Amino acid sequence: MIRPASTADVPVIAKLIRDLAEYERLTHAVVLDEERLRTHLFSSRPYAEVLLAEDAGAVVGFALFFHTYSTFAGKPCIYLEDLFVEPACRGKGLGKALLRAIAKLAIERDCCRLEWSVLNWNEPSINFYKAMGAKPMDEWTGYRLTGEALRSLALS
């Protein structure tokens, strides 16, 4: 079953984020604060939304996403930040169900696209996404400012 997250789900969302970080070999990067996550997801102006996947009544997966905007299309888009299903529950269609639910939201919200990034080494996920009809955006290179570089630019 796929359902929207509620404030009561914040601890399990945080756990799944940490599980995802472990899978991606990025546990060192997780500095997540649950109260801040609660505010960011459930305040009057949320920054992101979460759908949860349940199996036998337990939350075993999540998708965290938010809106972006295409100036060329003049329409909103959905960016999927994270999609994760616990390894023991993979192969049951939960990842596909989460992706399908977000695709339905994109259509309902008149979005022109759904997009995300995947680590280059993550062949299982790449194959999963390709099986859904997703195409890699090889002509684009992502860039990121964080930490001191971000502060430096902001204060220049």
pLDDT of 85 > 90? The answer is yes
pLDDT band per the 50, 70, 90 thresholds, residue 62: very high
Evaluate if residue 8 carries a pLDDT over 90: yes
Active-site residue (options: 23, 47, 129, 143) = 129
Quote the DSSP letter at residue 92: S
Let me know: does 114 contact 133? Beta carbons within 8 Å.
no
Q: Which of 77, 92, 104, 88 is nearest to 128 (CA)?
A: 92
- Cα–Cα distance between 147 and 139 in angstroms, integer? 27
* pLDDT tens profile 131-143: 889 998 989 888 8
- Name the H helices within 1-93: 10-23, 34-42
Long-range contacts at 68-74 (CB < 8 A, ≥ 24 apart): 70/112, 70/113, 73/112, 73/113
Query: What are residue 115's DSSP bridge partners?
Result: 79
Give the mean model confidence (pLDDT) for residues 122-129: 89
Can you give the pLDDT at residue 18? 97
Domain extents in the chain:
2-155
pLDDT, residue 141, reads: 86
Question: What is 2-155's CATH number, 3.40.630.30, 3.30.300.30, 3.40.50.10490, 3.30.2270.10?
Answer: 3.40.630.30
pLDDT given for residue 82 in this prediction: 96
pLDDT at 132: 87
Residue 122 has pLDDT above 90, yes or no: no
Residue 83 has pLDDT above 90, yes or no: yes
Q: CB atoms < 10 A from the CB of 42, how many?
A: 15
Active site residue 69: no
Residues 6+ apart with CB under 8 A from 106: 77, 78, 113, 114
> Whole-number mean pLDDT of the chain?
95
Distances (CA, A) of 32 to 14, 69, 93, 123, 135: 7, 26, 28, 27, 31
Task: Supply the pLDDT for residue 34.
Answer: 97
Q: Which long-range contacts (CB under 8 A, 24 or more apart) does 117-124 make?
A: 117/142, 119/24, 122/24
